[in-house]
Structure 1
Amino acid sequence: MDDLRRMAVFAAVVQHGSMSAAAQALRMSTSAVSQQVRLLEQGSGVTLLHRSTRKLSLTDTGARFAEHCHAMVSAAAQANAQLALAHDAPSGELRMSAPVGFARHIAPGLGPLLAAHPGLTLRLLVDDALINLVDARIDLALRAGRLPDSSWVAQRLCDFDWILCASPDYLRRHGEPGTPAELVQHQWLVGSREGSGLQIELIGPAGEREPLRVDARIASNNQLSLEQMCVAGLGVGMLTHPDVHEALQAGRLKRVLPQWRLPPGPVWAVTPQRENQPAKVRHAIEAMRAYFAATPGTRV
């Protein structure tokens, strides 16, 4: 490493034409510059410069050596420029993971960012399992709900509103519940990895809280499947408002007990580290945050 530093000092001496000019450019003393060049010559056993009281001149070997030193300094400058570019502008491959139900939000969320930065590419892993970010080399993961303890870093992007909904056909066949207590008589579609029950708490118009436990006729760990089954008229589901907004607008689903609400669910941007986030990750997080801020059924 000392030799590399001395080569850079030697390149500066040649570039600026004197020890003193190089010292000024490098913010070193003239004696320190002279010492570095002298140590470089002693280490190689070759004279690089002819010194006189008026000027410096290169030996033949020194001239050839200077070309390589200049190339080294130029390569280092280009390397630093790439680091600065990575810090300021998103580029390279962004490896991202998201649950299956969240995949629909990636294209509208990151589309403008990808369009604005042709040097940025995306590799998206869609999986409802909790992917190990380090093992899968994930730069950014979207997660929802309560997060398990880990060394990873989570930033809250927004809250999704949870709503109760069913298809109009189901409600015609089974009737619309008028109170929370009537919900237990209905067929339920429950998001669950294990078990067949769901414990929920409804919040009324005046702030009153109604705890409720319902049994599942259909349970799944996949929110997209639950949404599809809800549209198919198989029961009442607790689904996130942003995911079913289009189905509600199109009349494929209808809100159940709309005057009652559920506690919102947090959505997180999870990264393997907190410090020195590359531009592609920082810009992607901000792009998703901006998208969710404009999405119906979310709270930023």
Structure 2
Amino acid sequence: MPELPEVETVRRGLSPTMEGAVIRQLELRRPDLRFPLPRDFAARLAGRRIIALSRRAKYLLIDLDDGATVIAHLGMSGSFRIEAGEAGDMPGDFHHPRSKDEKHDHVIFHLEGADGGSRVIYNDPRRFGFMDLTTRNELDVYPAFRDLGPEPVGNALSADYLATRFAGKQQPLKSALLDQKIIAGLGNIYVCEALWRSHLSPERAAATLVTPTGRPKQQLLVLTEAIRAVIADAIAAGGSSLRDHIQTDGTLGYFQHSFSVYDREGSSCRTPDCSGTVERITQAGRSSFYCRVCQK
């Protein structure tokens, strides 16, 4: 499942082509993805100008000039590609095979922009992604967003805030950080990386990072900064580039090569002077990678 940095990478890749362009036609090659596509989806988008692209957690948001917002989720294998002109070539070199089979091209935005016509194509072999339509004014009450916590970027995420959510919580730290009601868009890969950077065990209780008076301990301050840093690093590197993720220009990023702990079971811990080995444990059905020696 693409995580927040992957979706942010897609947003940044699509923005130059989509923002300011008019949707001449929305071509739907099937009536559904994971869920049925919105009623009259193509008719409601035809002729609309795209005002802006944004992101909430792991969702891409496409704002239109009539106040409507398209919500897109990539699912497990969804990707967007940009085609311009008549040739329809996909730019960029692939480091892993990627579907260009038209039977997996399910939604096509035919656009008219300042530089002429282009197509933005949503391809999804597994069809676990989805698209929906709401209004910008109703985003806060949209079911997927209604209870989301703050983003793990910017000033909204603070140690003081996390202290209020962790106080008295005996839930394992890893599980607490994956709770989307606490932090929006933070996924398994980057939780593992942030916990390693802050030398905290995924198994320790979240409440142990909070003082009896409800204040954040120094360890929680370090963890908060580690979360921000690991997300910023991943966005700068273009996402984690797991097998089913691709940037909009057809290339894959390289952050996966700098993972310090995720998917490195049996490898030596990269913490300086640490003699530990990366282990894998299962928590709530998900793999956690950590070093038992330096993560306490």
Q: Do they superpose with TM above 0.5?
A: no
Larger RCO (CA within 8 A; separation ≥ 6): 1
TM-score (norm 2): 0.23
Relative to its length, the structure with more helix (as a share) is: 1
Tell me the TM-score normalized by structure 1. Answer: 0.23
Q: Computing the radius of gyration over CA atoms, which structure comes out larger, 1 or 2?
A: 1
